[in-house]
Chain A
Amino acid sequence: MKGFLDYKDGNSIFHKMNPLSKLFLAVVLCAMCFVSSNIYFVAGVIVINLLIAFAAGIHKMALSILSGLLKLSIVLFIVQVLFVRSGNALFTIPGLNLPITDDGVYFSLLFVLRLLATALPLAVMLSVTQMSDLANVMVSKLKIPYKYAFAVITVIRFIPVFASEMAGIIESQTARGVEFDTKNIFRKIGLIIPLCVPLLISSVKKIDSSAIAAELRGFNRRTSKSGYKKYPFGGNDIFAVLICAVVITAGIMI
């Protein structure tokens, strides 16, 4: 999980786009993979995702998501192929009398490509968007109550804090002779669970003092108009609309 969702600094057109345009683009890319059932189109969407990731300088992250999903995709493909019976048999697995059909191969491939194509857009967009910008724009433009946006930001903010706290606890336990680097996963889980209690207590305390600190700084006075940063749409967003238009047209035509 480390590094996932982290903002990657940069100066690309995708960094400068309005957060809403990026979100819209990501949703369109995902949705069109389901509107169209053409494997060439869905494969094309994957390529577009990778091109965007490359332009934004986060292709390493995008490729690591794809390679991470590769094993799962292969398993899913095999399972799917074995279960689809409709269509013309391409060949039959000898001994099992299990036909592999052209429909089966097509739909299994489509299924796997859709999985890969829809895993990318949101991850790519979130990596080039500051969480706070996304929250701010949702509050000012979509009129989402600030409280919800704040809650989401707080959770994201606390993940690394709690992670380092957990690491600290494990370190101090290791110093006392507890061996966490055991190969046995069940034993490891058994060792870690008791440590979650102090972590939980400190989390509750932290969240409580966090609420007090926010309130002292006028959290309750905040309205949807309080945001100082404005997020106007500009030239970069036309580019997002353009990509969307191309993808939607292609998806419907092909």
Chain B
Amino acid sequence: MIEFNNLKFMYSGGKKFALDGIDLTINDGEFIGVIGPSGAGKSTLTYAINGTVPHHYKGDFYGAVKVNGLDTVDNKPEKIAGEVGCVFQDIDAQMTATIVEDEILFGLENFGCPAEEIEERIDEALKALRIEKLRTRSIGTLSGGQKQKTAIAAMIALRPKILVLDEPTGELDPQSSREIFELLKELNKKYGMTIIVVEQKIMLQCEFADKLLVIDGGKAVHYDTVEKVLEHSEDLEKMGINCPRIVTLARMLHENGLYDGVYPAELDSAEKMVRSII
């Protein structure tokens, strides 16, 4: 569980709060999609979860963040890392090794995973991401999607309860982007892992996330189930987030009093909506 308690953070040298009064709770096992315009504070939010804000990125920090009961100010990021696995936006900077297998080994070795358990953990992580074949591949020769999966596998091997990803599909084609989200959903369902994913591709978010967290100007402007947040599609459009067409249609139908059901987040519920009005 992650609890934000009126969190405010301004980077040293910054002029305004990058996070401006975040006050919400993320429960265990939830799949949270974080969206918002560029510069809204999404990455900063991920830093606040893993403790790099305020331990690495200095600045004015008010309020509190607790990750599974651990206060991120009182505990070192290294300690928090036992609870949260993070995949950063810059995937090349994330890597530490030259071979896939070694990338997964890195964290396991550092945190003192017993030798007899290591093989099992590597196999499990590779299998969860379906990259068993890449085990001995050189990381320099991997595609963007394969690198992303390797980075996630390296985190999974440490068995964190929470996984945070910052724009994991930023440089991927639609097919690979979808694959990543499918894998995340699987981790979420199979291991009950809490997933927090910053992602601009709202179609993917709507289809896979349980809840959407909309950040704008450092504030959490909406935080609710996907359907509920989509009711504010006008707000989202103003931020430059293009909602699925079907959501715009639902809004128009609502405005004209033709439909009063939930806003459809994916095709199945869209079909239901259409059936209900004809």
Closest A residue to B151 by CB, please name it: A213
Contact status A228-B118, CB under 8 Å: yes
Q: Is the CB of A215 within 8 A of B93?
A: no
| Shortest Cβ distance from A221 into B: residue | B110
Query: Which B positions have Cβ atoms within 8 angstroms of A?
Result: 50, 52, 56, 77-78, 81, 86, 88, 90, 92-99, 102, 105-112, 115, 118, 138-140, 154, 158
**A172 at interface by CB-CB < 8 Å:** no
Q: Which interface residue of A154, A157, A213, A216 has the most chain B CB atoms within 10 A?
A: A216
Instruction: Assess A218 versus B88: contact at CB under 8 Å? Given A7-B138, A157-B98, A227-B109.
Output: no
B111 near A206 (CB under 8 angstroms)?
no
Give the complex CA separation of A175 and B237 in angstroms: 32
Who on chain B is nearest to A160 by CB? B140
Closest 10 CB pairs of A and B: A218-B110, A210-B93, A209-B93, A217-B107, A226-B109, A206-B93, A161-B92, A218-B111, A216-B81, A213-B94
Cβ-based interface call for A220 (8 A): yes
By the criterion CB–CB under 8 Å, are B78 and A213 in contact?
no
Of all chain A residues, which has the CB nearest B109? A226
How far is B140's CA from A207's CA once the two chains are assembled, in angstroms? 17
Measured CA separation A154–B90 after assembly (Å): 15
Q: List chain B residues, Cβ under 8 A from A221.
A: 78, 110-112
By a CB distance below 8 angstroms, the chain B residues around A132 are 97-99, 102
Instruction: Please measure, in the bound complex, the distance between the C-alpha atom of A76 and the C-alpha atom of B105, giving whole angstroms.
Output: 48
When the two chains form the complex, which single residue of B81, B90, B98, B138 contacts A217, counting CB atoms closer than 8 Å? B81
Taking CB atoms and an 8 Å cut-off, the chain A residues in 145-187 that contact chain B are: 150, 153-154, 156-158, 160-161
* Residue numbers in A under 8 Å from B88 (CB-CB): 209, 213
Known contacts A209-B90, A216-B81, A217-B81; A130/B99 CB under 8 A: yes
A71 at the interface (CB under 8 A from B): no
Q: Give the chain A neighbours of B96 by CB distance below 8 A.
A: 150, 153-154, 210, 213-214, 217, 219
User: Is residue A115 within 8 Å, beta carbon to beta carbon, of the partner chain?
Assistant: no
Interface size class of A (residues with CB under 8 A): 20 to 34
Distance, CA A157 to CA B103, complexed state (A): 12
Q: Is the CB of B107 within 8 A of A218?
A: yes
Q: Let me know if B98 and A153 touch, CB within 8 A.
A: yes
A-B contact pairs, 28 of them (CB 8 A): A7-B138, A132-B97, A132-B98, A150-B96, A153-B96, A153-B97, A154-B96, A157-B97, A157-B98, A206-B92, A210-B93, A210-B94, A212-B52, A213-B86, A214-B96, A215-B77, A215-B78, A216-B50, A217-B81, A217-B96, A217-B106, A220-B78, A221-B110, A221-B112, A227-B109, A228-B108, A228-B109, A228-B115
Q: Cβ of B90 and Cβ of A206 under 8 Å apart?
A: yes
Task: Tell whether, in the assembled complex, residue B93 and residue A218 are in contact, meaning their CB atoms are under 8 Å apart.
Answer: no
Taking CB as reference atom, which chain B residue is nearest A217?
A: B107
Contact A222 B93 (CB under 8 A): no
Chain A positions 185-241 with a Cβ under 8 Å from a chain B Cβ: 205-207, 209-210, 212-222, 226-229
Which B residues touch A39, using CB under 8 A? none
Smallest distance from the beta carbon of A126 to chain B beta carbons, Å? 12
Q: Are A228 and B105 in contact (CB under 8 A)?
A: yes
Minimum C-beta distance from A139 to chain B (A): 11
A131 within 8 A of B: yes
Q: Beyond A7-B138, A217-B96, A221-B112, is A212–B102 a contact (Cβ under 8 Å)?
A: no
